[in-house]
Every structure is written in structure tokens, then in C-alpha cells.
Chains A and B, each alone.
Chain A
Amino acid sequence: MINFLKVSIFSLLMVGGFWGFSNFGIPQIKPAPPPVEEKLDLGAMTMDQFIALGGKIFNGKGTCTLCHNKMGRAPMLDAIGKNAPERLKDARYKGTAKTVEEYIFESMKNPSAYVVAGFGKSGTNDTESPMPDVTGGGIGLNEAELAATIAYLQDSGGAEVTVTIPAMPAPGAEAPKAEEAAPLKTAEEVIAKYTCGACHKVADQTGEIGPNLTKIGATKSKDYIRQAILEPDAVIAKGFTGGMMPPTLGEQLKAKELEMLVNYLAGLK
């Protein structure tokens, strides 16, 4: 019986050690919630807003930055305007595109039409791309999202933006669910939806890239907070760099949601 107890206590201590290390020895990262289909009001969008939407898709739903980043997993796209015409002339090009816009579109739908040297699937001699078709599977971009991403890549890649904003609303937004179209009900929901916690410490989120907002109301007024949301680079908090916070929240938030968020943050003292 003594041995049984000793062995049990030893095993419990080991399990407790592993549990403790996993909970307190490493950073606790909260995985992002599953993406939700958003309503796109394309009719009211300017081209700048459309490009900003493309940027959001590129960095978010499209999961493009998982590979198109400085770690060398996939080619960088910051000079696509210069690179695309050269690639279209390359003997290895297998597609049918004639313009930069068509090339980007084709690369997203049929990535193996042209594989940049060194980025092909292992053993395929750069004839097959590891990139998935972004209109299918887990990414599933629709026509409007594809067009917005192309506009963003043209804009950021030094090419002329030739994309036109689709006239019809995105198919996913044709019959939005009532709960998706309605404004969010609480500030916490707004914070969760717009992933403020990825950078800021606020609500139950623990982001550390941006300023800590847990006591923002003690030192800042509602007007300051409202401006910080609508024009994030108007005033940069000490110790932080500008250009980090998305400047498009003003277009994305509903008026009711914005005021709810401002009141919530102003109340954090």
C-alpha cells in the first residue's frame, strides 16, 4: 500500500510538473477564433477602401502572409509590378495571362502556371507550386475578395491598379445572416471581432505590440480614444512606432459599435 501511494504521488507530481510548465512556463497564445463571413458593401467603397480590404484579406482570411513573408517560404510580392511582365515572358511560363492583373489572378487560381525558381514543391524541379488554389478549400476567396487582393498587390507591388470594384455585392454577402448584419452587442464582441487583443492588452486579451489599454480611461478622454481608433497615426503613444494599427477601422465599424467601444475604453480606469 505504501508503494502504491508513493508511486501515485510521484506520478501526480510529474503530471503536475508538466501541467505547470505548460501553463506558466511558456507564453499562453490564444488561437484566433474561426473566421466569419463578412458583409462587403462594395457599392459604397472607394478604390482606397477596396485596396485596404485587399490588404486585410492578404494578411487575414487569405493566409497569404503565412508563406509570403521574409522567412523565405514563398516569393515576396512587394515588386510584383516589375516581376510579373518578366515572368510572363519566361520560357517556363505555362499560363494564359497577358497583363499584371491577369497574372496575379492566375497565380492565385492556378499557382503552378509559373513557379518562381527555388519555390516549387520538393522533387518537382519548380514545375509544381506548393500554394493552394485560394478560391477553394479552407481559404475560399470569392470574386470580390480576389479582386480586392489583386488591387492590394498591384498597389503595394508598384503596379498600376487596373482592377475595377465588382458591381455586384460579393456572393457571400448576398443574403447575410441577420446576426452578421446587425451591429455587435457589446464592446467585448467588438474587441474580439476586430482582434484588438492581438496587439493590445485589453479585456481578456494580452497583446503586447501596442499600448496597454487596461487603464486607458484614466489618462485619455473619449475624443482622444475616438481619434486613436479612426486615425491611429494621428498621435503615436510614447515607446511605440506608427503604421502598425490598421487605418481602416473607421470604415469597418458601425457608428453604434464605435461609440460602444469608445465608452468602454473610456471607462477603463
Chain B
Amino acid sequence: MFMLPAFMPAASASEAAASAATAAEAPAPAAAAETAPAAPEIAIPVPKLTEADYPQIKGVNARVTVWLVAQLHLWFGAFVVAVPMFVFIIESIGMMTRDERYDNMAYEFIKVSITAYSLTAILGGLLSFGLILFYPDLFKYLSAVFKESMFAYALLFFAESAVLYIYYYGWHWLQGGNKKWVHLTLGLLLNAVGIQLMFLANAWTTFMMSPAGLDPAGVFHGDTWAAIHNFLWNPINIHRVVANVAYGGSIVGAYAAFKFLSAKNQAERAHYDWVGYNANFIAISALLPLPFAGYYLTAEMYAYSQQMGITLMGGVFAWIFIIQAVLIGALFLSANYYLWCGMGRSEGAHRYNGRIKYIAIVLVAAFLVWFTPHTLVLTNSELKSLGGPYHQILGVFGIMPAKNTAVNFLLTFTFMSFMFYRRANKVATVSWAAAGNAAQIALFAVGLINIVVLGVYYGYFTNTVYKVAASIPQVLTTLTIIIVSTVLDTLMYKGAKDVAPLHWGRMSTRSQYALFLLAVSFTWLMGLMGYVRSGIRQHWHISNIFRDASPDAYTPGLGYAASVVSVGTIIFMAMVIFVFWLSTISGKHVVAKGYWKEQA
């Protein structure tokens, strides 16, 4: 018999316990000794469960309950980890420029995140409660593996709360001179603790995808660092940091839009227009590198397990990337639309208006290429009339080289939109302005040609190895355009003249709905990708190690997942609007005449 002893399942939890005891007494096998020689007395085997090991509550679907709570926790968690990052940057800008508007905006953002922080903690508690209630053996196993880190998590959570409250409540106390530096340092500390908290939680999640620190028999011997530092930990960490900033920007953008729409006077409208512009800038800045972080994460999934990669991209989840294309298309189009509307703040921007339609055409074309599926699901007669599973003309857009090219165009042209917006109301005064413009046009032209050549030649006329490898120079080309162009532009527009006054607040109502579209699309997209990330484990709690024996062990279909994500998004948006409302009433002070006793 070739089945390794570890994969001979214990019949019950008690058998698993007995096996643990035996494993503890037995000398460790050679391979195990290499991974965990320091603590041979610890041996935590994977339990083999049956349906009876999953408590059921009549009328409550355990999976959907835990799924929704976990997703809500993640949405709020992402927001409260992200906000201090850009609050720190905005506060720094305020200190450098001595422009108090930045300081006020940073304070307003952190004020919104304070209520969200409480909700994150409540939802985290509910998630733990849900796991203990519905998945007790899984929770017990994960707690045994991550014992120390869970303790550290609790301590960090207290530290995060303490620093956040001092940072927020001390905002107006720690103003000016050295006090402001102390406050900024607190902001840095807040970010350091918050990111560590997220990294720890990421370790638990990624351990379930790419378990590490286990011997060949699947027994954990106590090396918690190995379990934390599993294969997908850093790729997820990077992806989540970038995505959180983009997401946080989109949520505060929705906040600004809500306040703009509710503004009572021109001054308020101008203020929240400016806040919305900055929020959209934050979201776009993080949105540009986000596809690369996602691509890196997917490549690492393939590197960890080809099976996992294929399940993700070529199996039942393949169609999800068509939905993702729609959502990302919505994100980019709404972000660009907002920028184009923003050009209406100044008469100086009119000279760029004619070019916007070309950017819009490229963005829509890139979106449509990304949206084109590779293999079509067809009936027999459709298959015959088409002559195969691929469309003869559009089929070429279905493969990754076409999509990579489209994404790089989407990013480059979004950046171009931003550059137009940035230049709209200014005229460069440096002597080399004409040469600088020519250099930038050449940079964009050469870069875009390079992206097309790489995509078409290496994508269609060479073998598979180059198809994948060509995506790296494409990404580097896009990044080069963005970085070099930004540097050139910054130097060129130093001391530039304003063409006409900038009218903050002169924005259409529709533009504010673009900010809402950005927030809703982002929230829904995060929920959908959360379903995929979790779903690629299929019928395993912990990939290939700890089998899910619950009645819900099957992978739900896309339509079902979309329903759960939609319900979650609606609950989340309702809670977020509640948070916005709280931040509004916290600034109101009603004088209740005749209610209080007159003081002598």
C-alpha cells in the first residue's frame, strides 16, 4: 500500500487524539526532524472530521453566516488599516506645506475611521464566535498551530486601540512645533501596529491555502513562524496593502461625495469637492499598481501549486474573471469620468476637452478586450455554426497576452487622464517646456508601441513560455511611463502659471455618483475575489491537509456567491452610511433653550 500513514484518516476526533499521542512518543521521521527538531514534544495532527463534528442550528446556514461576517470584518478591517496610511501622508503634506486644509482633511478621515474601527472589532469578535460555534474543530486546530501569534494579535489589538485613541483625541492637543512631530510619530506607530495586525491575520488565511511547517505526515510540530511565513503570505500581504489603500480612498471618496451632495452652502461644497478629489487621487494612485500585485499573487499561486492555479484560472472559477473585468472596467471608467468632470473646475482645462473622447475610446476598447472570454460555453448547434469553441476573430482577444496588453493600456491611459487633469489649469514656464513635452509624447508613444509589440509578437508568434514571460516587460514599460513622466512633469511644472482661477465646488452631481460607483464596485469586487480566494481550496479547510466534511463542503456556484456578496455589500454600505451619518451628527451642537437650569 502506497498511501502514506499521514493520509490514512483517523476515524474520529478521539482517534486523531490518540494518533497525536503516538506521534508525540514516536521518534520523528527524518524529513520531520529537518523541519522541526527543536520541539519534538509538540505534535498536532490534522483531525479527520465527519458531518457530526459540525454543530448545526436549525434555520441558520453556518457557511453563509460565517462567510458574511468574515467578509464584513474584512471590508471594515481593510478600511481602518488603510485610512491611517494616507492620513499619515496627508498630515505630513500639511506639515510640509503648512496648509491647514490638509491637517483638517486628515482629521476628518480619521474621525470617520474611528467608528469603523469599533465596528471592525465587533465583527472580528462575531467572526471568532461564529467559527467556535460552527467550526469548532477547525478553530481548535488553527488555535493550536497559531497559539503564540494569536496571543500577539490580542496584544497588538490593545496597542492599536491605545495608539489610535491617543492619535485621534490628541489631534488638536498635539499641534505645532515638536508636539506636531510627536503626533506624526504616533501616526507612524499606528500604521506599524495596524499593518502587523493585518499581516498576522493574513498568515492564518494563507496557511489555509498553502500550509507550511508540517511534516510529510501532515503533523504540525510547533514551528509557528514556518506556518506564518507560508508560501502565499507575502504575496497576499503586498496585494492587500495596495488594495486596502485603493479601497480606503474609494470609501472616503464616497464620504466626500455624500457630504458634497448634502452641502448647505458653497464653502461646504468647495471643501468636500476638494476632499473628494484627494480621495479619488488616493484610490487611483493605488489602483494603478493593483493589477500588478494581483498578477504577482496569481503567479505565486501557480508556483505553489499548478493545480491551484489551474482551478483558479482555467476551472470553474475561470468565468469569474469576466465578472472581474466588468467590475474593474466600472472602477476605471468611473475614476476617469470623475477626473474628466474635475477638468470643469477651470476654464484652462477646455483646451484638453477634445482629447478626452479618444481616451474614453481606448479605455472602452481595453475593457472590451479584457471582457472577451476565451472558451465559450456553447450548445452543440452553436458549436457547429461557429466552427469551434473559439470565435474566429474575437477568440484572439480571449487569451492572456491580449488581456495583459489591454490592462496596460487601461493603466497608461488612466494615467494620461490624470496628467491632463494635472496640467489642465497650468502653463509651464521653464525654458525647456517644448522639449519636455516632446519627450513625454515620445515616452508614451514608444511605451505603447512596446506594449503592443510585446503582447502581439510574444503572445501569438512564440511558445507558451514567452507568452507568460512577456507580461513582465509590459508591466515594466507601463511603470516606466508613469514614473519618468511624473518626474518630468514635476520638474517642468515647477513654478508654473495658473491659466484661470480654480473653482472648487464647481462639479456636477453626476460626478459625485461616479465616486459612489467607485466605492460600490470596489466593495463588490473585494467580496467576489474573497469568494475565489477561499473557493480555490475547494473541499478542504486547509488545502490538501484538513478536509472539510461539513454539509457545505461543496464549492458554491458563481450565481450563489454573487447573491451572498450582494447581500454583504448592501449590509456593508448601510453600515458605512451609518458611519458617515455618525460623523455628521458628532459635529452638531444643538442649544436646548429652556431645558437646562440657569446658572447663577
Chain A residues within 8 Å of B, Cβ to Cβ: 3-4, 6-8, 10-12, 14-16, 18-19, 21-23, 26-35, 63, 66-67, 71-73, 109, 118, 121-122, 130-132, 135-138, 140-143, 146, 171-172, 208-209, 239-240
Contacts and interface: CB of A to CB of B under 8 A. Distances in A.
B438 interface: no
Interface pairs A-B: 3 shortest CB-CB: A22-B562, A34-B539, A137-B544
B558 A26 contact: yes
B305 A143 contact: no
Interface string B508-525: 000001001100110010
Interface string B311-324: 10011100100110
A171 B577 CA distance: 58
Contacts of B465: 118
B520 A21 contact: no
B143 interface: no
Size band of the B side of the interface? 35 or more
8 contacts: A3-B262, A18-B323, A21-B323, A22-B561, A27-B377, A31-B555, A67-B307, A118-B465
Nearest to B555: A31
B306 A26 contact: no
B316 A18 contact: no
Interface stretch (B1-9, B128-136, B282-290, B477-485): B1-9
A29 B558 contact: yes
B517 A22 contact: no
A140 B27 CA distance: 25
A6 B570 CA distance: 15
Contacts of A28: 557-559
A4 B577 contact: yes
A140 B307 contact: no
B525 to A, nearest CB: 9
A31 B261 CA distance: 44
A19 B562 contact: yes
A135 B558 contact: no
Contact of A22 (B216, B323, B380, B513): B323
A34 B553 contact: yes
Nearest to A145: B2
Contacts of A66: 306-307, 310-311, 314-315
A246 B555 CA distance: 25
Contact of B3 (A21, A138, A140): A140
By secondary structure, the A interface counts as loop
A41 B431 CA distance: 88
B49 to A, nearest CB: 13
Nearest to A175: B11
A31 B563 contact: no
Interface string B552-577: 01111111011100100110010001
Contacts of B306: 66-67, 73, 130-131
A105 to B, nearest CB: 9
Contacts of B316: 29, 31-32
A171 B323 contact: no
B149 interface: no
Contacts of A141: 2
Nearest to B258: A7
A26 B326 CA distance: 12
A143 B2 CA distance: 5
B327 interface: yes
Given A142-B2, A142-B3, A27 B319 contact: yes
Contacts of B462: none
User: Which one of B1, B216, B463 has the highest number of Cβ atoms from chain A below 10 Å of its Cβ?
Assistant: B1
B432 to A, nearest CB: 44
Interface in B556-600: 556-559, 561-563, 566, 569-570, 573, 577
Given A26-B558, A131-B306, A21 B326 contact: yes
Given A14-B521, A15-B566, A29-B316, A146 B557 contact: no
A153 B307 CA distance: 20
B543 interface: yes
A17 to B, nearest CB: 9
A33 B554 contact: yes
A19 B560 CA distance: 9
Contact of B310 (A30, A67, A143): A67
A31 B562 contact: no
Contacts of B520: 11, 14-15
Contacts of B379: 208
Contact of B1 (A3, A29, A142): A142
Given A12-B570, A28-B557, A34-B554, 13 more contacts: A7-B261, A8-B577, A11-B573, A14-B524, A18-B323, A22-B323, A23-B559, A29-B377, A142-B3, A143-B3, A171-B1, A208-B377, A240-B380
Contact of B562 (A18, A32, A122, A239): A18
Given A14-B517, A143-B2, A23 B377 contact: no
Contacts of A142: 1-3
A239 B380 contact: yes
A26 to B, nearest CB: 5
